[in-house]
Amino acid sequence: MNTKEDFLNGQILLIDKPIEWSSFQAVNALKWAIRKKFSLKKIKIGHAGTLDPLATGLLIICTGKFTKKIPELQGQVKEYTGTFTLGATTPSYDLETEVNGNFPIDHITDASIKDATTQFLGEIDQVPPIFSALKKDGKRLYELAREGKEVEIKSRKIEISEFEITRIDLPELDFRVVCSKGTYIRSLAHDFGKALGSGAYLSELRRTKIGDFNVNNATSPNVFKENLELNAST
């Protein structure tokens, strides 16, 4: 049972972010619930690593003095599962934008799929998607992308320690990836399509782990609010 002091002194809250929620919306939902429950004018609260609106899964939210732990938590290794759809590309590398190119997939075999995964293991250079929240010249990349501007994005070093294909049902591939901070799974989808001599985009994504934290122990923002109203002591 959490008290007002618990939240102010610091809590690490594990949230299972619903699809189509932004990470900011999830943080806001918790902030308002805590403030309302304990009649607080303000409380420090933030998340340790954004999830795209179309992704679901683990979002670590820190309150009070534990917001100081956010940089450390952001640096932890992450695990994702999801689906790549082969044979097409989109500008955002996921379903946020419409398909802008179609490619053959008849030449793709189970063996070539397994072989392609090995190209992405270890430390690699990855170019983030243009539709991302990274900044260039003070503007977020997705803002520039929506204005139709050509932007040169520098590659960055990331590390993929595990990458396995868990289901092949073309044009869909299910995967599991364990990777470092700063890895874009959308870029991995795009690059994976290229490696297969085709195209690909990310059609489903779920973050399952951050460091030792597991989504199996997380609750949805709505369940958090319900539990808070029922159980928390003032």
> How many whole angstroms separate alpha carbon 202 and alpha carbon 186?
6
Q: Which of 52, 115, 137, 174 is catalytic?
A: 52
Determine if the peptide bond prior to 91 is cis (ω within 30°).
Answer: no
Q: For residue 148, what are the CA distances in angstroms to 141, 145, 190?
A: 11, 5, 20
Is 52 considered catalytic here? Answer: yes
Helix spans in the chain (H): 4-9, 23-38, 70-74, 110-118, 141-146, 185-195, 221-231
What Rg, from alpha-carbon coordinates, does the chain have?
A: 19
List, by residue number, the catalytic residues.
Answer: 52
